[in-house]
Amino acid sequence: TEMFEAPAESMGLTLHVESIPTIVEGKNRHHLRQVLNNLLDNAIKFTPAGGRIDVRLAHDTAAGQAVLTVANTGAGIDAADLPLIFERFYQCDKSRQREQGKRGTGLGLSICQTIVEAHGGTIGVRSVPDEQTTLTVTLPLAE
């Protein structure tokens, strides 16, 4: 998350990181880092100036899972788009994006889903229009 502090600050965003040390079953540490990078990059792209991004890593010992959440304030994601955002090349309504020059390829969340599922986890999204979008990744804890 440290490498995203300067870009967030330059966009007028508050990046708040709350973490609890957690060990997950990771087949490829680089790929797991890519998931966090993609989620933070999206949060920065789609959070308006003055907004907030919250990152939290916790462990649910009872369920045997690490739970990563990345939440950002802003326009949110339309309900019609929610079931589609993990599809390859899918991009939400262009009018809701911060700047047209900051559009991606529509592959980031699809890549995240593939990596998370390869590690035995899940990824999901919850969005409240004009309030907040939260992406949640669950991964098995190391034994």
CA distance 137 to 65: 10
Q: How far apart, in whole angstroms, are the C-alpha atoms of residue 82 and residue 21?
A: 30
More confident residue, 19 or 113: 113
Helices 108-118 and 29-46: angle between axes, nearest 10 degrees: 150
Q: Considering only CA atoms, which of 96, 143, 89, 93 is closest in space to residue 120? A: 143
What is the pairing mode between strands 122-128 and 14-19?
Answer: unpaired
Assigned token pair, 50: 């003055």
Query: How many whole angstroms separate alpha carbon 89 and alpha carbon 73?
Result: 24
Q: What is the mean pLDDT of residues 10-37?
A: 83
Structure confidence at residue 102 (pLDDT): 56
The DSSP code sequence of 81-121 is TGGGTTSTT----GGGSS-GGG---S-HHHHHHHHHHHTT-
* Mean pLDDT (whole number) for 38-47: 93
- The closest of 140, 133, 141 to 45, measured between CA atoms, is 133
- For position 77, what pLDDT does the model report? 85
pLDDT value of residue 86: 85
